[in-house]
Structure 1
Amino acid sequence: MRVGVVGLSPNRGFASIAHIPALRALPEFEIVAVCTTRQESAEATARHYGIPMAFSNQEELARHPDVDLVTVTVKVPDHYQPVMAAIDAGKHVYSEWPLGRDTAEAQRMLDAAERKGVRHAVGLQGQWSPTINYVRDLVAEGYVGQVLTATLIGCAPNWGAKLDRAYQADFSNGANLMTITGGHQIDALCHCLGEFRELSAFAIHQRDRIVTDDQGEVPLTSPDQLAVSGILNSGAVVSFQIRGGMARGTEFLFEIHGSEGDLVIASTTGGSMQRQELSLHGGQGKGTSVAELPIPATYRNVPEDTPINSPYNVAQLYAQLATSIRNGTPASPGFDAAVKRHHLIDAIVRASTTGQKQRLG
């Protein structure tokens, strides 16, 4: 499977630390092209990674006969054009999450991909975390009995007093603590436990201005704190919080309490659970403590030498996408999953802005 990557830099960005090592760990894929905004930078990037073709025009990359799959890793407000270019060219496409700057954009991309009949995947790679998938199965098999409550608390270290990129400070760009960190983590929660039936939320910014690495101080309209409480379709009560800034203790903690037991998923090495190796502990019956639960090897679908942390779950998603393309079956998660998450984020925004509980589904 020959891949063209739109939005790759050797110096920064998620493509360089996750997509490139993930793809190179998998024998099914070969990176054959890169596209950046300038031909000089595209050629420099291609030389750096040993990629044969360089483009400054995303349509030309997508139309090239030696490209089978287009991976889109540019910033969120710029996803739409390269994704649509890939679809128009009849190429399979993997887009980073969030899929679009809003639900309408995401829906248009899904509709176009479905009409064209191409396979489509979105970078909600937490769904391919071995720990998260094992937890999903344990819950389904009744390890905790009836799920009564769940609590997830995470952090977004890049959303403290400073912010990497100024465009993320503008809520209209759709790339913020709520959509990125919050979107990944609430997706993992729903993957394990099911969807929300109703919710209330606070998505607020506690600063009016923020210092950014690329433009200095800018106005802040994106949320830097997120708190959601709700009830799932199963009846379980859920509390979900993302803190802006560094956490000096546990950076990610997800606890599931049921009628027969408990599961505790945690990370102390980063607040982005989709990019971390997660620990898992569980306890059942009359016991009053939890013990470590090893993750069965069957939840790992990539070569043993695949780099851990950022590349690992991305590689797991790519491996599933390769199977999807070979078999002509839907990828998971696809753009349909992205649209579902965009709708959930819309409900969170409505709950926060109106102060009213939102009913879903």
Structure 2
Amino acid sequence: MTTCPPNAIGVGIVEGSIGGWAALGHVPALRALPGYGLRAVSTSRRESAEAAAKEFGAAAAYDNHVDLIADPGVDLVVVAVRLAHHKEIISAALAAGKMVLSEWPLGVGLAEAEELAARAEQAAVRTAVGLQARFAPQVSYARDLVAQGYVGRVLGTTLVGSGIAWGPTTDRGHAYLYDDANGATTLTVPTVHALEAVHQVLGEFADLQARLVRGRTEVTLAEDGGTLPVTAADQVLITGTLDSGAAASVLYRGGVSRGDNLRWEINGTDGDLVLTSGLGNLQVAPLTLEGGRGDDEKVAELTVPEKYFGGAAAAVTGPAHNVAQLYAQFARDLAEGTRVAPDFAYALTRHRVVDAVENASATGVRQHFRATATGEEN
């Protein structure tokens, strides 16, 4: 078993089970970055916590989040539990004066996110939220290419993706995703992760219209063939205008497609950029970036320069890579006094976009707004 290196940021992961997202995304990232040390993990059972601590090299194991938060070696609490438990655990960590990195979404609905963002501001501790799509090397390179004029003036962008979950079948462990009241839906999870990349490359929405469609009214349980009612929309359609004046269209559908599961085009007066993947969850997808301009008749794959792979984070491959880039930026922010990594205040602006989409769908009225990093709108 390893211990937290001296002067490193001591991390405690709430719901750090073997085989879970924390094991897939967070642990490989933390192992690769010299500024962090995994101090503790907690699960709901002592046996699984001790097994995870041994597997991951954590110094301590707990069967509840309260003891993990109280551990003096934990500086940063990583909240990787189901969304329904975010408020309780994040609030406890903030009350203890601990830094928090929460998975996205921050809360169940806008009101809960507003409360957590306010508590973080009152606690005056640094926070981060798992909106890591912006750190994908292909996304970062596309952002710079657009800024450098590769496509000329951006005319429009179209993104179509598949959410993987929210398909025709599920297991009981993931059935909660099909209940809109739980807050983890096709809109709030894969769509917002994809929108995070769109916003980073092309800017914010100035206005939008939306339709949330419940294409499937029931889901089949893999264990026994039983069915459950579906209350969450599995088809998300957003159209609008970006601040630049460019047109934007986003369609996310539940499940997977036999065609393209992720295709994002950026079309301009002088060229085009295309990002694709066989995996629809952009924040963890292995992306291919293609481009063409001028006299090019087709797009061709573009080689992403090494600098976009993030130093020590470059050693991390697969779904954990963008997470490692998020952790690396958070450490730089702490050292340099900057606020580049998305924090709770920024997460609130993303929740406001979700709220605008829901209002547009419910009322049929175009939503005009400008979300900023301070959470203000006009």
Q: TM-score, normalised by structure 2?
A: 0.91
Sequence identity (%): 43
State the one-letter code of the partner of 2:54.
Answer: R
Task: Indicate the SS of the match to 1:242.
Answer: strand
Deviation for aligned residue 1:188:
0.9
1:80-229 correspondence to structure 2 within 5 Å: 80-164=87-171, 165-212=174-221, 216-229=226-239
Matches within 5 A, 1:301-316: 301-303=310-312, 306-316=315-325
Aligned counterpart, 1:292:
301
Q: CA deviation at 1:309?
A: 2.1
Q: Do the aligned partners of 1:224 and 1:243 also contact (CA within 8 Å) in 2?
A: yes
Instruction: Could you list the structure 1 runs, at least 4 aligned residues long, displaced by more than 6 angstroms after superposition.
Output: none
- C-alpha separation in 2, matches of 1:328 and 1:53: 30
1:10 corresponds to which of 14, 18, 23? 18
Determine if contact 2:32/2:313 at 8 Å carries over to the other structure.
no
Instruction: Tell me which moved more, 194-203 or 302-311.
Output: 302-311
Deviations 1:102-140 (A, max 9, x none): 111112222222222211111010011111111111111
Q: How far has the Cα of 1:251 moved from its partner?
A: 1.4
The question of whether the paired residues in 2 share the 8 Å contact of 1:166 and 1:214 is answered with: no
| Contact preservation (8 Å) 1:127, 1:333 | no
The one-letter amino acid paired with 2:315 is T
Equivalent residue for 1:39, pick from 31, 35, 46: 46
Choose 284-293 or 128-137, whichever is displaced more: 284-293
5+ long unaligned stretches in structure 1? none
Shift of 1:249: 2.4
Deviation at 1:57, TM superposition (A): 2.8
Deviation, structure 1 residue 279: 1.0
Paired with 1:318 and 1:156, the residues of 2 have a C-alpha distance of: 25
State the TM-score, normalized to the length of structure 1. Answer: 0.95
Aligned with 1:180: secondary structure? helix
Question: Paired residue for 2:4?
Answer: none
The verdict on how the C-alpha distance between 1:329 and 1:224 changes in structure 2, with shifts beyond 3 A counting, is same
- Cα drift, residue 214 of structure 1: 7.4
For 1:66 and 1:18, how far apart are their aligned partners in 2?
22
Question: Using the alignment, how far apart are the partners of 2:290 and 2:27 within structure 1?
Answer: 32
Moved more, 205-214 or 137-146: 205-214
Amino acid at match of 1:308: T
d(CA) in 1 for partners of 2:111, 2:267: 36
Q: Which residue of 1 aligns with 2:71?
A: 64
Query: For residues 2-55 of structure 1, what are the alpha-carbon distances to aligned partners after superposition, in whole Å with 9 as ceiling and x for unaligned?
Result: 1000011113x2111111111111121111101112333322322333322112
Contact 1:120 1:331 in 2 (8 A): no
CA gap of 1:193–1:214, structure 2 versus 1, over 3 A, is farther
Distance 2:115 2:304 in 1: 38
Return the alpha-carbon distance in structure 1 between the equivalents of residues 228 and 329 of structure 2.
Answer: 40
Q: Which amino acid aligns with 1:275?
A: V
Q: Which residue number in structure 2 is paired with residue 259 of structure 1?
A: 269
The CA RMSD over aligned residues, in Å, is 1.7
Partner of residue 282, structure 1: 291
**Shift of the alpha carbon at 1:56?**
2.4
Matched, 1:349 2:361: no
1:235 matches 2:259? no
2:72 alignment partner AA:
P
Q: Do the aligned partners of residues 31 and 189 (structure 1) sit closer, same or farther apart at CA in structure 2, a change above 3 Å counting?
A: same
